[in-house]
Structure 1
């Protein structure tokens, strides 16, 4: 009995005490917003999934026949590139409406 007690005390002394560490604050991530661009969620009536829609509106007014539109899939990845290129083309006088899906 005495040896069991000494063994228990020895284990308590030998095992380090683990203290809970404070959880580090999570950084606040804000999405990048393109000038002249809007985004919104659109629910599909076909499959019920919600898709994020990104729209970049050219800075120049549309021509009489309307602006051409470029639709890109994987909008989170491809929209920033297409919208940036559209802004460059708009400066050259050919405005382009860009719509990113997804």
Structure 2
């Protein structure tokens, strides 16, 4: 048994089972979405990349439970969102990474409301 809390999610590709639902949800938010499993290492990782008309977002999470989430504003290249976390289980990951998605979604809504 691995000491890494997110082994099933990443190395065993447990996150794959959520893909069809996530793709349709993120498309409804006008976000392009890509899942990438990084090359095997001592601490395997996966990246969730998001793109909107305004922002590029990335969630990188490692089997150890470490996670970094950041968003760049396309027009300026400025980082407008950054969070670092350490998860002890998958539930914590699933509850937290959506903050990045919600930020990107809400910024699009604000932009469209101001047009």
Report the TM range for the smaller structure's normalisation: 0.3 to 0.5
Q: Which has a greater percent of helix?
A: 2
**Higher Rg of the two aligned structures:** 1
Per chain length, whose mean CA-contact separation is higher, i.e. which structure has more relative contact order (CA < 8 Å, sep 6+)? Answer: 1
TM-score using structure 2 length = 0.32
What TM-score, normalized to structure 1?
0.35
Instruction: Looking at secondary structure, tell me which structure has more strand per residue.
Output: 2
